[in-house]
């Protein structure tokens, strides 16, 4: 569930509806820099109506999914 939503947010953000994303995709592969990850976390906070602490470094989609699951648990 969280993963699908993250993919949707990512595709909107990149404006690429066909973007291939897996749990193992890294932000680097997706050509996103560290400020893009901050932007994505902000969008996810709005979508999931939660506040997300960015205390760990986010490298992969799995990291983000883990962070959100923790926040909404």
Partner 1 sequence: MSFSIIGTGSALPKTIQTNDDLTEYFETSNEWIVSRTGIEARHICIEESILDIALEASLNALDNAHINPKELDLIICPTLGGDTVTPSLACLIQEKLEATCPSFDLNAACSGFIYGLDLADAYFCRNREMKILVVAVDAMSKLVDWKDRSTAVLFGDGAGAAILSNGDDLKAIRLTSVGNQHALCIPWAKGNHPLLKDQETPSPYLLMDGDEVYRFAVAAICNDLKTVVKQAGITFEDLDFIIPHQANLRIIKSAAKRLKIPMEKFALQINSCGNTSAASIPLVLDEMNRQGKLKPGMRIALSAFGGGLTTGACVLEWSKKSF
Ligand X SMILES: CC(C)(COP(=O)(O)OP(=O)(O)OC[C@H]1O[C@@H](n2cnc3c(N)ncnc32)[C@H](O)[C@@H]1OP(=O)(O)O)[C@@H](O)C(=O)NCCC(=O)NCCS
What is the smallest separation between the CB atom of 1 and ligand X, expressed in angstroms? 28
Establish whether 33 is a catalytic residue. yes
CB 21 within 8 A of CB 30: yes
Query: What are the b/e assignments for 52-66, b being 16+ CB within 10 Å?
Result: beeeeebebbbbbbe
Site string for ligand X, 9-48 (x = CB under 6 A): ------------------------xxx-------------
Which residues make beta-bridge pairs with 60? 26
Q: Specify the residue, 54 or 72, whose C-beta has the smaller distance to partner 1.
A: 54
Task: Point out the residues that are catalytic.
Answer: 33
């Amino acid at each position: 569930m969280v993963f699908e939503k993250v993919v949707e947010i990512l595709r909107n953000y990149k404006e690429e509806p066909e973007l291939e994303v897996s749990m193992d995709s890294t932000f680097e592969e997706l050509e996103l820099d560290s400020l893009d990850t901050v932007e994505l976390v902000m969008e996810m906070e709005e979508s999931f109506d939660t506040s997300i602490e960015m205390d760990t470094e986010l490298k992969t989609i799995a990291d983000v999914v883990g962070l959100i699951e923790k926040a909404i648990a």
